[in-house]
Amino acid sequence: GESVGLHLPTLSVQEGDNSIINCAYSNSASDYFIWYKQESGKGPQFIIDIRSNMDKRQGQRVTVLLNKTVKHLSLQIAATQPGDSAVYFCAESSRSGGGADGLTFGKGTHLIIQP
């Protein structure tokens, strides 16, 4: 029979290099975006967020870029470290999404750090 597994996009980078993880969204009404990091066996951890009135936001070693024209979001991690190995996924929300349930999550990208 056919096996079903976890087929996430994978990004492999050398330790010390910069990583760029991409996310495309389809809802042009989305106006709030979050990046999460999920390590194996743990819950998703908030990294950084951005609202649609901004194009760029920086945190500690991370930068999120938002291109509303092409509905694209990216997460840049500077000087990647072994502890950055995880699955990263984006989430989006829009006013049209209603109240409490307004976040839509992507399926994630697996970041692997090569020594």
CB of 19 to other proteins, least distance (A): 20
Stretch 13-52: interaction string toward other proteins, x if CB under 8 A? ------------------xx-x-x----xxxxxx--x---
* Sheet with strand 56-58: strands edge to edge: 19-24, 72-77, 62-67, 56-58
98 binds other proteins (CB under 8 A): yes
State the Cα–Cα distance between residues 21 and 95, nearest whole angstrom. 26
Upper half-sphere CA count for residue 21 (Cβ side, 13 Å): 32
Q: Which residues bind other proteins (CB under 8 A)?
A: 4-7, 31-32, 34, 36, 41-46, 49, 89, 91, 93-95, 97-103, 105-108
